[in-house]
Structure 1
Amino acid sequence: MKSIDKKGLLSLAALSATVVLSGCQLFGAADDETTLERVQREGEVTVGFANEQPYAYQTAEGELTGSSVEIARQIMENMGVSEMNGVLTEFASLIPGLQAERFDMVAAGMFITPDRAAADHIQFANPEYTIGQAIAVEAGNPLDLHSYEDIAENDDAIVAVPSGTVEYDFLLDVGVPEGRIVTVPDMPSALAALQAGRADVITATGPSLQSILDTAADDSIERVDDYTQPVIDGEEVINYGATVFRDTDEDFIEAFNQELDNLKKSGELLEIIEEFGFTEEDLPGDATVEDAI
């Protein structure tokens, strides 16, 4: 039996290492793969959502749906990604979860605001819709509330709102004291606070509020019809909602915006959002994320 040449063994080991390294370069190291490349390769994407109808929520059967989800689902299918996985979290935890890479993007109808746009490692895609706020109160509106300003001026008015939402900031901007704002995890919790008498009024975007009221079918609660949108810094508030990404995923954002533009031009965007209570008036037109900040 021939003895093994140690020099030859070392040479063989070196050659093997070279082949392994070459193979890594040939097939692409995981660290070099972008989020878009990964989700297209895997055929699935993970989205963060906050269980708020009609934007993003889970049905009783466990299906993930909502206007923002279905927009993202159609766009991702057009990009060759057929599977969408949802991660449920509180609204205030969506951006931190995205930053921590718990999901690939946030599809939750999130408003584009200067503070959110300035958050570390975050970038919004272009707007998918524009919408205003609404309020609901005890039937008969005993405190005669018709605006955020009315809530601010009535010292007895307690308002419930999901934490992390833009409505919380709007309430502060018009002068509602923090002590009269009750923060809750989500809209069902806000409605429960109103029903239990822990709050006198709740607020959300029009479609979101109407959706929760339709689900509850509670005659003791009513949406205020003669409602006035908040005026901040002399201007009526206009909100744009969009999908959110990490700012390092530039190719993902660019591809998403292109497909969103295609949906607008084909009329498919309106078809998708109409199923969730939106109208043609809620379309964002040619607005970009820069226009919305």
Structure 2
Amino acid sequence: MMEWCRAGVARFIGHLMVRLAPNAVVIPLMVAPLIIGISICGSIQAHAGETLDRITRTRMVRIGYAPEPPYAYRSPDGRVTGEAPEIARRIFARMGIREIQAVETEFGALIRDLTNGRFDVIATGMYILRERCGQIAFSEPTYRAANGLGPGLGVRVGNPRGLHGYDDIAADRSVRLGVVAGTFEHILAQRAGVRDSQMALFPNVVAAARGVVSGRVDAFAATSASVEAMVERNQRILEKVGHFRGHPEGGTPRVEHGGFGFRKQDDDLRRAFDAELRKFVGTPEHLDVVARFGVTRMELPTATAAELCAR
């Protein structure tokens, strides 16, 4: 990273010097920006590797999650569990890390809190999307959002508003939709033409489901598995919409994949994590761990993180 940063600074300064060459008085003034640029590079280099060194030394890592069953949530006994935290426990154990501290936050704050250093890894089954890849680095995916992990919609029992797709919601301005801020469902609803004035933003799927229960919204959008988990908690009030049209683009829907998020400067940590993750995903142990969260062999990843970030 140091070489890349210094080369970039040198190219930038070189370009300016060529353009300013006729004015010899200005050229010496470029020395200060060059020194500052290289100092910044040194700062970047100083921070790179620090996270892995600390985790290895203290045998403790902090994972950030937003409550969204079955990907990440706190069970009644207080344990943070779900598809992502349980995989994280096993991968970090293979890396010699004994302790995991779970930090809860809102889904829309996960990337910000990661980059600000509140925790070291996002472990909440976050979709690997191109726009997110510009902000953080992703591990190799651990699942694909197919079958029961695809898009879902929760409504009151009997579906009184007759909602079966985002297009139904967009067509009726009086319908109110609950979405978790920053999620892919939020993006899909906007693409389908659902107006911002129709949407209520919630910090997590539990709060969104409560919005339907309380009557604040008519429906809430989340992954199918998350909707099912919320319906199970409120069986007399909520139901999951069958055959929900969750992809407004038409044609064959694109299947998303989920993985772990890392700060870009923590590439050594991501690579060490991925080295163990590749050996784990798809094994009998992995499938046994994630079966209770709705992940089977049919939902194993079919693309790499690089491929997902590029599409």
Whether TM exceeds 0.5 here: the answer is yes
Instruction: Name the CA distance, whole Å, in 1 between partners of 2:295 and 2:89.
Output: 18
From the superposition, tell whether residues 169 and 32 of structure 1 become closer, same or farther in structure 2 (CA, over 3 Å): closer
What CA RMSD, in Å, does the superposition of the two structures yield over aligned residues?
1.7
Are 1:42 and 2:81 an aligned pair?
A: no
Instruction: Name the CA distance, whole Å, in 1 between partners of 2:77 and 2:207.
Output: 21
Partner of 1:126: 140
Partner of 2:215: 197
Partner of 2:193: 175
1:168 shift after superposition = 0.5
Instruction: Name the CA distance, whole Å, in 1 between partners of 2:215 and 2:282.
Output: 47
Instruction: Name the CA distance, whole Å, in 2 between partners of 1:184 and 1:290.
Output: 31
1:176-222 Cα shifts (integer Å, max 9, x gaps):
111101101111211111011111111101111111221x2332211
Q: Name which of structure 1's ranges 216-225 and 64-73 shifts more when overlaid on structure 2.
A: 216-225
Q: Residue 222 of structure 1 aligns to which amino acid in structure 2?
A: E
| Bigger Rg over Cα | 1
Structure 1 residues 112-191: aligned runs within 5 Å: 112-119=128-135, 122-131=136-145, 132-191=150-209
Q: Between the two proteins, what is the percent identity of the paired residues?
A: 34
1:279 shift after superposition = 2.5
Instruction: Name the CA distance, whole Å, in 2 between partners of 1:247 and 1:32.
Output: 9
Partner of 1:80: 96
From the superposition, tell whether residues 31 and 111 of structure 1 become closer, same or farther in structure 2 (CA, over 3 Å): closer
Q: Residue 162 of structure 2 aligns to which amino acid in structure 1?
A: D
Q: Residue 229 of structure 2 aligns to which amino acid in structure 1?
A: S
Aligned equivalent of 2:236, options 197, 215, 219: 219
TM-score by length of 1: 0.84
Q: Contact (CA 8 Å) 1:207, 1:278: kept in 2 or not?
A: no
From the superposition, tell whether residues 106 and 261 of structure 1 become closer, same or farther in structure 2 (CA, over 3 Å): same
Q: How many residues are paired up? A: 260
Partner of 1:254: 271
Instruction: Name the CA distance, whole Å, in 2 between partners of 1:218 and 1:268.
Output: 32
Q: Residue 180 of structure 2 aligns to which amino acid in structure 1?
A: P
TM-score by length of 2: 0.79
From the superposition, tell whether residues 195 and 32 of structure 1 become closer, same or farther in structure 2 (CA, over 3 Å): closer
1:126 shift after superposition = 1.1
Structure 1 residues 2-151: aligned runs within 5 Å: 33-119=49-135, 122-131=136-145, 132-151=150-169
Are 1:291 and 2:304 an aligned pair?
A: no
Instruction: Name the CA distance, whole Å, in 1 between partners of 2:108 and 2:185.
Output: 12
Greater percentage in helix: 2
For 2:265, what is the secondary structure of its paired residue?
Answer: coil
From the superposition, tell whether residues 145 and 265 of structure 1 become closer, same or farther in structure 2 (CA, over 3 Å): closer
Q: Name which of structure 1's ranges 96-105 and 60-69 shifts more when overlaid on structure 2.
A: 60-69
1:31 shift after superposition = 5.9
1:173 shift after superposition = 0.7
For 1:236, what is the secondary structure of its paired residue?
Answer: coil
Alignment gaps of 5+ in structure 1: 1-29
